[in-house]
Amino acid sequence: MAFAQGAQSSSLSAVGTSRKKHVVIVGGGFGGLEAAKALRSSDADVVVIDRQNHHVFQPLLYQVATASLSPSDISVATRAPLRRQKNCGVVLDEVQGVDLERRRILVASGSVEYDYLVLAAGATHAYFGRDDWAKLAPGLKTLADATDIRRRLLLAFEAAEHEGDADARRAALTFVVVGAGPTGVELAGAIQEIASHTLPEEYRNIDTSTARVILVEGGERILAAFPPASSAQAQRDLEDLGVEVLLGQRVTDIQEDGVRLGDEFIGAYNVFWAAGVQASPLAKTLGVPTDRAGRVCVGPDLSIPGHPEVFVIGDMASVRSAGSDRPVPGVAQGAIQMGRYAGKVISEELIRGSSPARSRPFTYVDKGSMAIIGRNRAVAVVGSQQFSGFFAWLLWAVVHILFLVGFRNRFRVLVGWAFNWFVGSRDSRLIVGDRQLRVIEPQGPGFEANEEAPAEQT
C-alpha cells in the first residue's frame, strides 16, 4: 500500500513495503476503531486514515458546547487506543474518493491501495437544501462545532450585559434549537440550566434567568425514536425547566437576527441546528445506491454491491438488522457493533480464506436509548423497560462514563460531573476565537467613556 505520489507518513510507508494483505479503515470514530481492534490478531497490515488526529465521544459534545466539559475530556488521540496493536498504523490525511475497480482510495497527498476497505467516515449536518443556513445555525458534530457554539452562547450573555436596547437584549437572550432528537433536547435543557441556575449571580445589568430557550420540532413529539410515554415525560421535564417546546413547526428561514417559523418571526441572535444529518460526501464517490440521507445501501454483510471487499459502517451505512424492518439507528452502539462485525469478517477471511460470520447477516442488538434533560432529569429505554427522573439520569451517566475511551477521560469526566452536581458550576467557560460583541446601544463599565465607538464593540 503506497501513495502514488510518494508517502508523507512513515506509518503508511512502512505498511506499503509489506507483502501482507492491506486493510484500510477510513475514519477514527467508534466504528473505525472497533474494526481496527477486531483485526489485532490478523496477519495483515492495517491502517486507519482520518483527517483529525483524535477520536471524539460525540454523545457528550453538547456538554463541551454548554461549558460542562473541556474538549480534552471527551477526546483522545487516535493513536492512543491502538498503541499496543503492532499491525496497525494511523495516518493523518483526508480521503477524497474511492476507485473501486483499481482498489485504491484517493487522499489529499496521493492514493492508497487496499485489499479490504472499511469506510466509517461518519456524517455531517443536513440543512435540507439550505446550506446558506450553516453559518447562521451551526450544528454539533465535531469539537470545532462544540467550541463555536460555546463561544456564541457565552458571548450572547456578555453582549446582553452591555446592551441598552431592549429589543436587541431580548434577541441576545433568545436561543432557538432546531430539531428535538437527543442532541436538540440535551442542548436545549443545558442552555436553560446555564441561564437559570449557573449565571444569575454573575451579571449585574441583566437577569440571565429571563433568557428564552425555544426547542423547535417539525414532528408531533420530541424524541420521536423513543416510546410516546418517554417523549411526553421528556417534554414535561423540559417545560418544567423553562424551555418552550414548539411542535409541528418548520423553519422557513434563518437570518442574522432571528428565525422564521411559517409566518412568525422570532428575534434571536443564536440558532443552533440539530434537525438532520447526511452521510459523509465520500459515500457519493462509490457510485452505488444511497438513501435520501446519502447513506450507502449495503448488503446484509455490510459490503457494497459487487465489492465484497468494501464495507461501509456507522452513519455512512443504510442497513436493516436481520429480522427487523427498521434501519439500524445512527448511534454509537450501532457503529461499534458494525465495526466489530466487519473486522471479524475480514479477520476470518484472512486467516481461513472464508468467513462464517459473513454468511450470517449483521444483527443489531439494541442496548437501549437515553437522553438527559437536565440535572437529575433524564429518560431511558432499556428493552421493554422505561425509566425517568434521577434513576434514568444516573443510568445515563454510568453508561456514558463506560463508553468513554481511556481511563483518564473517564476519571476526569466523573470528577467534573460530581463537582458540577454538588456545586452547580460550569467551569469550562472559555471563549475561544472571535470575541466581538453584538451591541447596538452600549452601556455599562468600559462604554460610557467611548461615546463615538462603533455599534459593535470588541
Q: What residues are annotated to the active site?
A: 186
Please give the helix or strand (H or E) that residue 189 lies within, else none: helix 182-193
d(CA 167, CA 160): 10
CB-based contact 310:322 (threshold 8 Å): no
Owner of C-alpha cell 437577569: 207
d(CA 33, CA 339): 7
Phi/psi of residue 355, each to 5°? -130, 115
CB-based contact 406:415 (threshold 8 Å): no
Query: Are β-strands 264-267 and 258-261 bridged in parallel, bridged antiparallel, or unpaired?
Result: antiparallel
How many contiguous H segments (helices) and E segments (strands) does the chain have? 10, 25
Say what angle helices 332-352 and 30-38 make with each other, to 10 degrees: 30
Locate the DSSP E strands across 274-399.
Answer: 277-279, 296-297, 303-304, 307-312, 317-318, 369-374, 377-382, 385-388
The residues, any chain, with a CB within 8 Å of residue 156's CB and separated by 6 or more, are 172, 173, 175, 269, 270
CB-based contact 145:153 (threshold 8 Å): no
Local structure of 444: helix, strand or coil: coil
Query: Of 31, 38, 22, 162, nearest to 105 (Cα)?
Result: 22
Question: Angle at Cα 44 formed by Cα 43 and Cα 49, nearest 5°?
Answer: 150
Q: How far is it between the farthest Cα atoms of the chain?
A: 79
C-alpha cell at 167: 429589543
Looking at residue 200, the DSSP 8-state letter turns out to be: G
